[in-house]
Copies of this chain bind each other. A is one copy, B any other.
């Protein structure tokens, strides 16, 4: 196996597709959105990417069959819009691998004549979020103007710590190749997988692409997650009550 191995499963012809990246990250927001798109659009897998910068691991699928961890690219064609969707099990586990995999993704983007690239992610703020917000960053001003129309906020130095991993590198390295790219981030606690934030990001993305996608699966997952959070809060309250009681005894 080479350092990075690109297995092309199918040749497809796409017309200036938009590339969408949704690899695992903060709150798995990007991954939830991109995988939802793949399922709802019934997109077709055209590329598998393996690399020794990914963990040395296989996953067991439903029937007991294994597969090596990987990144995948799906294609979708429609009358007005073609898409390339990048999803995967992991991002690189090495510093160098992050850069090299991002370059590989951009090579593929160039090969298919991508017109623009949206990377999806979460922006962790360290507390539970009541009102959904979506913030953005881009390597080109035209995309900033475009996304502002759909409610994406562009703030001075937000996120303050920058954008780490593929969602950021595809913008930075894409700029060097003249590929217009923006990152769309759902504000999230950063503690848990956040399908609600993913919904907000998906809405913006669909608006920007002029795309209509059934959101019920994400909505259902968001409701499940809310029940989990409610339960976590109850446990926390119970524990804190118990702790106060203990302290009473000692005092």
The chain A residues found within 8 Å of chain B, CB to CB, are 1, 52-53, 55-69, 92-96, 98-100, 102-103, 136-141, 144, 154-159, 162-166, 168-169, 171-173, 175-176, 183, 249-251
Contact = CB atoms under 8 A, between A and B. Distances in A.
A65 B141 contact: yes
Contacts of A165: 56-57
B58 A138 contact: no
A interface secondary structure, majority: mixed
Given A58-B162, A61-B157, A164-B56, A66 B171 contact: yes
A125 B35 CA distance: 29
Nearest to A167: B58
A184 to B, nearest CB: 12
Nearest to A147: B64
Given A56-B102, A57-B164, A58-B162, 16 more contacts: A1-B103, A52-B98, A53-B96, A56-B166, A56-B168, A56-B169, A57-B169, A58-B172, A60-B159, A63-B144, A63-B154, A64-B137, A64-B144, A65-B138, A67-B172, A68-B175
